[in-house]
Amino acid sequence: MNVDNISFGLAFLVGIISFLSPCVLPLVPAYIGYLGGRLTNRAATQVTISGNGQVALQQSRRSRFEIALHGVFFVLGFTFVFVTIGLLSTAFVQQIGGRNINLITGMISRFGGLLIIFFGLHTMGVIPWVFRRLQEEQRLIASPVLSLFFGLLGVSILLWGFTTTLTPSVYSISTTTAGQSQIVNWPTIISYLLVVGYGLWLFLGGAFTQPAAFWGGVIARVQTVLYTDTRREMTTRGEGYAASALMGVIFSAGWTPCIGPLYGAVLTYSANTGDVVRAAPLLAAYSLGLGVPFLLTAVLLDRAQGTLRRLQKHMRMITLVSGAFLVFIGVLVASGELQSLSQYLQGQYSEFSINLEEQVVGSIDYSGAATTAPVAVTAVPTEASALNSIAGAAAAFKGPESGTDIGNVAPNFESVTDAGKPVKLSDLRGQVVVLNFWATWCEPCKVEMPAFEKAYQTNGKNNFTVLAVNNSESLDKVQTFRQQMKVTIPFVMDEKGELQRQYGVVSYPSTYVLNKEGVIIAKQFGPMTGEQIDTLVNKALAS
């Protein structure tokens, strides 16, 4: 696909179509859970204020489009992540490091998931109840034990949120072509600094010497932020729009998308050319198009406010259910399991959505027909060209550095296949390697898998192999997928996601082509056709 032929309007249209993808659908229940919780809170507040459920006409008109506006800010939030993470993981990956991208999105997911859980508990009324109990029971709030509890809780959240463990190490092990080396683990350092700052805040603020005054002030400030005073909540206009944008950021950062043809073409173009000026508007258009169905959903939810007010007798149960669902979504986001929802939402229409996108774009054919321009193999600087400058001579002397950019030696790793066979990337020197990152729930991954199998069967005895690295799934699930797809290519296990983080993979499928020296000569985001694979493999084998 030639990116020059992709217009802003076409990217927007394909974004709308992509909403039908099973890779996008997991965002829908999370989105409805958040807006539904906000809507339920508002309806319950209106019932409380009016007594009989009748709200003033002026108030009703003023809030008519509020839910829709929250939807707009939610869309802007996930658009921001789609564009920035998309560009960071392609055009700027060499500068910031692929591992750092996953570290950042992981931290957003963990802290954001906890925030969603907190909002869910607030919707259920648990947080207000706890605050009332603490304010009524002075013996509890005046005890240093309460400060000790929240001190340990805060430290645990900071350490886990930044590092996923309560006992993080300052150094981590990095595997390169030269062997293993220790690198500074910057999230651990930040978490330790914040822990120290949190401890100083508790001690200097009087949490242990004057706990009643300290925690009384904290509760008052939190209640102000949450608009616990229902009358203030009803009279404050534009309340919470920043929170809706933040929810969009959190949900999209905690969600692992699969890539359709157009989105993948733009990402690949960004990676191969570094042309951010051209790629960013197309990514933004695609994301905004993807947001249109979310906005329509918000409008439909807005119309449900009247129904909720009429169900005032059951409002307590409604708030409990909506809050509990929000807590459930928060747990999925914080644990990194939001994408698992896609496994339950996939259906027969999933392939239809991809085919529909292909027809709209009009330039991709998964059957292998010659309708797609082959991906160009980016030339790796030769020793002769490198010697044209002093800097080039130094680079040629040292050899290509390890990294995930074109021209880098692919980062080394060790793992096992689903059959239990050990795999070490550096042992495959002398072979052309196609390194494909995939997942069982990713429909585009399924579509391209037969093409990889055909290339493996055709060139498997000609210094060529395919390593299909699975996305953090169980052995049973991978083996079941192999039987269903009837493929023989090596499936590399990565149940802890270490290889995904090492290569900075944030969406699926993502593919790297390595020459016989282990140097990355091409990379592709999104599904590949048989023609594309054959072109890349033949050029790599001939070089």
How does pLDDT run across 1-18, given as a tens digit for each residue?
A: 555 566 777 778 877 777
State the Cα–Cα distance between residues 502 and 383, nearest whole angstrom: 28
Task: State the Cα angle at 171 between 170 and 175, rounded to 5°.
Answer: 160
| CA proximity to 150, closest of 221, 203, 111 | 203
What secondary structure does DSSP assign to 141-207, as a single string?
Answer: HT-HHHHHHHHHHHHHHHHHHHHSSSS--SEEEEEETTEEEEEE-HHHHHHHHHHHHHHHHHHHHTT
Residue 181 pLDDT > 60: no
State the Cα–Cα distance between residues 170 and 399, nearest whole angstrom: 30
Token pair listed for 396 = 């040629």
Token pair listed for 12 = 């927007």
pLDDT tens figures, 333-378: 888 777 666 555 554 455 556 666 666 655 444 333 333 343 444 4
Helix (H, G, I), strand (E, B) or coil at 423: strand
How would residue 175 be classed by pLDDT, with cut points 50, 70 and 90? low
State the Cα–Cα distance between residues 424 and 410, nearest whole angstrom: 12
Domains of the chain plus CATH, in order, are: 10-351 (no CATH), 383-542 (3.40.30.10)
Average pLDDT on 412-439 reads 94
Buried b (16+ CB within 10 A) or exposed e, 174-206: ebebeeeeeeebebbeebbebbeebeeebeebe
Residue 422 pLDDT > 80: yes
Average pLDDT on 113-124 reads 87
Residue 404 pLDDT > 80: yes
State the Cα–Cα distance between residues 309 and 444, nearest whole angstrom: 43
Q: What percent of the chain has pLDDT over 70?
A: 70
What are the backbone angles phi and psi of residue 469, rounded to the nearest 5°?
Answer: -90, 120
Residues 373-376: contacts with CB within 8 Å, 24+ apart? Answer: 373/1, 373/2, 374/531, 374/532, 374/535, 374/536, 375/268, 375/522, 375/524, 375/528, 375/532, 375/535, 375/536, 376/272, 376/522
Sign of CA dihedral 338, 244, 52, 125: positive
State the Cα–Cα distance between residues 329 and 312, nearest whole angstrom: 25
Residue the block writes with tokens 């694979």? 533
Count of alpha carbons within 13 angstroms of residue 245, beta-carbon side: 9
How would residue 486 be classed by pLDDT, with cut points 50, 70 and 90? very high
Average pLDDT on 488-500 reads 91
Average pLDDT on 110-129 reads 88
Q: Supply the pLDDT for residue 58.
A: 45
State the Cα–Cα distance between residues 334 and 106, nearest whole angstrom: 9
Q: Supply the pLDDT for residue 52.
A: 46
Residue 238 pLDDT > 70: no
Helix (H, G, I), strand (E, B) or coil at 1: coil
Task: State the Cα angle at 367 between 272 and 533, rounded to 5°.
Answer: 35
H-helix segments, 254-314: 261-273, 276-302, 305-310
What are the backbone angles phi and psi of residue 4, rounded to the nearest 5°?
Answer: -60, -20
Average pLDDT on 407-433 reads 93
What is the residue type of 78?
Answer: F
Q: Supply the pLDDT for residue 319.
A: 77
Lowest mean pLDDT among 23-27, 345-349, 371-375, 460-464: 371-375
Q: Supply the pLDDT for residue 172.
A: 62
| CA proximity to 469, closest of 516, 508, 444, 435 | 435
Q: Supply the pLDDT for residue 375.
A: 43
Q: Supply the pLDDT for residue 489.
A: 95
Average pLDDT on 427-449 reads 90
Report the predicted TM-score, pTM, of the whole model to 2 decimal places: 0.70
Residue 502 pLDDT > 60: yes
| CA proximity to 249, closest of 72, 122, 109, 120 | 109
Residue 173 pLDDT > 70: no
State the Cα–Cα distance between residues 113 and 99, nearest whole angstrom: 21
pLDDT tens figures, 275-286: 777 788 888 888
State the Cα–Cα distance between residues 403 and 409, nearest whole angstrom: 6
Lowest mean pLDDT among 198-207, 256-265, 363-372: 363-372
